[in-house]
Chain A
Amino acid sequence: MLAVYKRELQAFFFSPIAYVFMGFFLLVTGLFFAATNVMSSQASYSTMLGNMSFLFMLLVPVLTMRLLSEERKNKTDQLLLTAPVSVTSIVLGKYFAALTVFALTLVLSFIYPLVLFAFGNPSFAEILTGYIGFFLLGASLISVGLLISSMSENQVVSAVATFGVLLVLYLGGVDILMQLINVSWISTALNWFSVYNRYESFGQGLLGVAPIIYYISFCAAFLFLTVRSIERRRWSEV
């Protein structure tokens, strides 16, 4: 797993992907930060992170699209799958590499709350909780992207499909929209998958056990499905 992780991380930084991801994330966070915190002299940083989650939907596909699609396209998956490593460790290695790029970006974005600390008196615990929530939210979205990347050998297809799925997940969390869809099972199902809504309590500075467990099991489920999706293709008879 470590070997796959290392190689994947290297690939992120040898290609423009990590820089595009980090640069764009920091740029947009900066703009949001200026608008919500600096201009209106607000110290609530978590609200800003919450707003970021919408734009994050555009960025996750950039991070995940090539993870498994590219291997298939270039046939390098033949190297991995014929080496004595399990599919699970390949998937985990890739997942943690993407997660590392994401975590690094979050660490860099810490510069904004530092500005708040310099000029105001925000609650450190609240900001930290916001970050933890945002990290868990991002980790879940990345696991969705990874699954979709395992399904197509075309990076563009996997990027667009990831965006589409994340958009549906997002809309599932919008209450007004859900009231329009008056079918209870659809809204229940969408609510079950509403990763975005689970962030709210973190945004309010609450570090609840339930949402943490929700996020972790969400990731685990999608990683499991990714492994199954790769295995399924090996057994495919189509």
Chain B
Amino acid sequence: MQLNENAAAPNAVISVESLSKRYGNKLAVDNVSFQVHSGEIVGFLGRNGAGKTTTMNMLTGYISSSGGSAKVCGFDILSDPFEVKKRVGYLPELPPLYMDMTVKEYLSFCCDIKHIDKAHHKSQMDEVCETMKIQDMRKRLVKNLSKGYKQRVGMAQALLGNPEVLILDEPTVGLDPRQIIEIRNLIKRLGKAHTVILSSHILNEVEDVCERVVIIDQGHIVAQDTMENLAQNVSGVTRMTMRVMGGDKQVMRAIHDVEGVTFVDELGVKEPGCMDYIVECVRNSDARKTLFYTMAKMNKPIMQLRPHDVTLEDIFMQLTTADNGESEG
């Protein structure tokens, strides 16, 4: 199911055209097409082994593709790999660090292989160290850094040379909650000046950081759209919880009779004297007002009415289980 077939747009920084990668007789990435526009933060979402990393590895030129084509900043990944590599900063899943070097030596080496002008080495390194807050770590050996700092050094490496495109493979994996928030905020900031693709299997991360989501499952793109559109397309109902003082069976029946309500059930007592209900109603038929007046007429005050957003989790589960019967762990 492809929800949004983008036509080749002129401002597409990355345009991928039926890209495939075959391993044995299994297609790790099967006919994947998508576009990323300038200044966008796009999230790759999928379970482990869905093909996120393989796609990223192909885009960055680490491995070759078996079929299809991809262009980054207008350069083909196969015929102009150097031009592509110059414009892409890549943070692989495991940051590619040399343990026997200090942070400064490592970044200096990265400047060299990225062909950054010798005169700009120092300013570039200062800049990325400041962005990643690793100024104090410059003289430390990489192997003695904590996981969080290693990740930051890896990210600093990707930022060197100020590339147009940043490709980040699971940038927050293995970090503690505070570091995760820091990295996410950083990615949001970076998204203002760079085009970013990031992969994740954490749903709320993508929800939080990305403007657009590409959902991959078993090598296929199952959906790609903005968060809002996805939520709308997937779910036909709005769900909410309602807390009514003195709620009983009669109240439930009354709720059920309200126009637009398709489902109601008791959730149990969460506050003394009150009953919680889960109410589902048809999308676009806002039943809240009617519910209010119905309850008021029955002299049963509504203590709380909270609509549920459709989470990416819902979308994800629906897309990856409904469409593909032969799912693998």
Contacts and interface: CB of A to CB of B under 8 A. Distances in A.
B85 A83 contact: yes
A84 B110 CA distance: 11
A236 B64 CA distance: 8
B96 A237 contact: no
A176 interface: no
Nearest to A237: B22
A74 interface: yes
Given A3-B113, A83-B113, A238-B24, A76 B62 contact: no
A234 B96 CA distance: 17
Chain A at the B interface: SS class: helix
Contacts of A238: 23-24
Contacts, number: 73
Contacts of A76: 96-98
B98 A81 contact: no
B86 interface: yes
B11 interface: no
Looking at A2, A4, A7, A234, the one whose CB has the most chain B CB atoms below 10 A away is A7
Contact of A79 (B86, B105, B157): B157
A75 B157 CA distance: 14
Interface in A5-29: 6-7, 10-11, 14-15
A82 B100 contact: no
A78 B113 contact: no
B60 interface: yes
Given A235-B64, A237-B22, A85 B113 contact: yes
B99 interface: yes
Q: How large is the interface on B (under 10, 10 to 19, 20 to 34, 35 or more residues)?
A: 20 to 34
Nearest to B22: A237
A234 B60 CA distance: 12
Nearest to A79: B96
A84 B75 CA distance: 14
Nearest to A93: B113
Interface string B62-106: 111010000000000000001001101010101011111100010
Given A2-B112, A82-B85, A10 B92 contact: no
Contacts of A10: 100-101, 105
A15 B96 contact: no
B100 A75 contact: no
Interface string B104-138: 01000110111100000000000000000000000
B301 interface: no
Nearest to A83: B113
The 7 A-B pairs of least Cβ separation, nearest first, read: A3-B112, A79-B96, A83-B113, A84-B85, A82-B60, A76-B96, A78-B92
